[in-house]
Amino acid sequence: MSFNKILKYAVPAAFISSLPFLANAADTANLKSDDFVGISFWLISMALMAATLFFFMETQRVSAKWKTSLTVSGLVTLVAAVHYFYMRDVWVGTGETPTVYRYIDWLITVPLLMVEFYIILRACTAVAGGVFWKLMIGSLVMLIGGYMGEAGYINATLGFVIGMVGWIYILYEIFAGEASKASEEAPESVRSAFSTMRWIVTIGWAIYPIGYFMGYMAGGVDANSLNIIYNLADVLNKIAFGVIIWNVAVTESEA
Ligand SMILES: *C/C=C(C)/C=C/C=C(C)/C=C/C1=C(C)CCCC1(C)C
């Protein structure tokens, strides 16, 4: 192996393995063996870190026009990994996980995940640039509405309604709008990835509005269970979503 090659792999590997230290919020507390919320935070943080390393390394393997989509998948898991290490430490130290913390992660990762629909279409069709903005704006409306409701700036029900409008708009765009129409011109492997990805945005993502509804509008929800469910949901919504993109990038590069 040449020195250059070693550098190419060693640098990202060293950087990613330092993530837990970069995001260390509380050195004093320890994870208890029966603390399942804490354990789920640990598992998802490490899975996200491993996924990040994998996506970044695999950019070396795919052809140029597929590199962007893999890089974006890696950025999603990177942002979430750093964030989860922090949340896990706050949880172990204080026994709390303010839901608003999650919005900091979502504000970056959700628009990136939505933009993936545009990026994979752009790699193989003549998709219009407006699709990018529609997906971006829909994501922001969804998150800002939810945040304002959750943080108490507006009524919780109003925040929910605004958030739902943003989500439904995104779903319309990928199932029936311009993005969906552009996907019909894409090769078979891209069409099938596109279709699986939109079902993740429908079913995998539904967990968050359900959590919001139960927590603020249906009389409360057990915060511990909700944390575990949210943490596990990200295996599907961030890692599996990225793996689908990785799969189509490799398939199309080898075709
Ligand atoms: C990686 C994190 C992801 C995919 C987070 C997704 C979050 C949502 C889909 C949140 C949706 C919401 C609504 C549809 C309405 C109520 C407010 C939200 C923000 C919880």
Domains of the chain: 3-254 (1.20.1070.10)
Contacting residues for 207 by C-beta, under 8 A, at least 6 apart: 229, 230, 233
Ligand 1 pocket check for 237: Cβ under 6 Å: yes
Is the pLDDT reported for residue 25 higher than 60? no
E strands, 153-238, are: none
Ligand 1 pocket check for 167: Cβ under 6 Å: yes
Instruction: Give the tens place of pLDDT for each residue, 219-241.
Output: 888 888 888 999 999 999 999 99
CA of 107 relative to ligand 1 center, distance in Å: 10
Instruction: Give the tens place of pLDDT for each residue, 90-134.
Output: 998 898 888 778 999 999 999 999 999 999 999 999 999 999 999
CA of 208 relative to ligand 1 center, distance in Å: 5
pLDDT recorded at residue 97: 85
Give the pLDDT band (50/70/90) at residue 215.
Answer: confident
* Ramachandran angles phi, psi of 64, nearest 5°: -50, -45
Give dist(CA 162, CA 168) in Å, integer: 10
Atom of ligand 1 nearest to the CA of 212: 20
Exposure b/e, 111-141, CB count within 10 A at least 16 = b: bbbbbbbbbbbbbbbebbeebbebbbbbbeb
Helix (H, G, I), strand (E, B) or coil at 109: helix
- Locate 86 and state its tokens: 């922090």
Is the pLDDT reported for residue 27 higher than 60? no
Atom of ligand 1 nearest to the CA of 147: 19
Atom of ligand 1 nearest to the CA of 146: 17
Give dist(CA 91, CA 252) in Å, integer: 42
Ligand 1 pocket check for 242: Cβ under 6 Å: no
Instruction: Give the tens place of pLDDT for each residue, 28-68.
Output: 567 788 889 999 999 999 999 999 999 999 999 999 999 99
CA of 136 relative to ligand 1 center, distance in Å: 14
Is the pLDDT reported for residue 5 higher than 90? no
Give the pLDDT band (50/70/90) at residue 21.
Answer: low
Global pTM reads 0.90
Is the pLDDT reported for residue 26 higher than 60? no
